[in-house]
Amino acid sequence: MTGGLADSPPDTEVANRDRLVTAATESFASKGFHATTTRDISSAAGMSQAALYVHYPSKEEVLYLICRTGLEELHSVMVVASQGATDPADGLGRVARAFAVWHAEHTALAKVANYELSALTPEHWQVVRECRHRIELCFREHLQQGMGTGAFSVSDAHMTTFSIISMGTDIARWYRPDRTWTVDQVADHYAAMVLRLAGAEHGRGGDEPQR
């Protein structure tokens, strides 16, 4: 396609695709990819049993779309959050907070994008892997900057990055909006823990990163 309105699908088609993706996200998150049938997805979207195949070539293609677009969105949010950082600790706190907010506000999407990856084809996994790598770099680059200036006291930026991401992705497993903590409280607490994990004075002092 060359772009432009003439190449755009009709509004009803876009709406149907969105309904299917939303239904698939919820189903994959609650039941898992393999336990979810195409009939489950179409029924949850309020459409005919064969509707998914009208808009997508396979169930795996929908999973790929969910994972790729979700992780691309997360990366974009983290990049925007880091803009204007005054130092490595401020930058790390900002991206950590954005990471936590996204996982708390998109629990179903985060579960699918982080825990259903084994169902992707090798080709799709390579694309999603690159998306995940860019997210890792957002954390690791701030860590390495802080290590270079003496602001952080960690010996291995790679291992610390994996620890930070593992701790943050799990927010999608346990966070519920009807619990005591708000999204902001969870994000502030997570960002402070990340800074302490990095050995930053900012984190040890208990201060909250900027929002």
pLDDT tens across 83-114, in order? 999 999 999 999 999 999 999 999 999 999 99
Least confident of 104-108, 138-142, 177-181, 192-196: 177-181
Q: By percentage, how much of the chain surpasses pLDDT 90? A: 82
Least confident of 3-17, 84-98, 124-138, 188-202: 3-17
Average pLDDT over residues 6-25: 81
pLDDT tens across 122-174, in order? 999 999 999 999 999 999 999 999 999 999 999 999 999 999 999 999 999 99
Structural domains of the chain, with CATH: 1-56 (1.10.10.60), 58-204 (1.10.357.10)
When the pLDDT of each residue in the chain is averaged and rounded to a whole number, the result is: 90
Amino acid 211: pLDDT: 56
Amino acid 13: pLDDT: 84
Amino acid 4: pLDDT: 41
Q: Using pLDDT thresholds of 50, 70 and 90, give the confidence band for residue 58.
A: very high
Residue 51 · residue 20 · CB < 8 Å: yes
The pTM assigned to this predicted structure is 0.87
Residue 17 predicted with pLDDT over 50: yes
149: burial class by Cβ within 10 Å (0-12, 13-18, 19+)?
A: exposed
Residue 178 predicted with pLDDT over 90: no
Amino acid 5: pLDDT: 42
Give long-range contacts, CB 8 A cutoff, 24+ apart: 158-163: 160/197, 160/198, 161/136, 162/136, 163/197
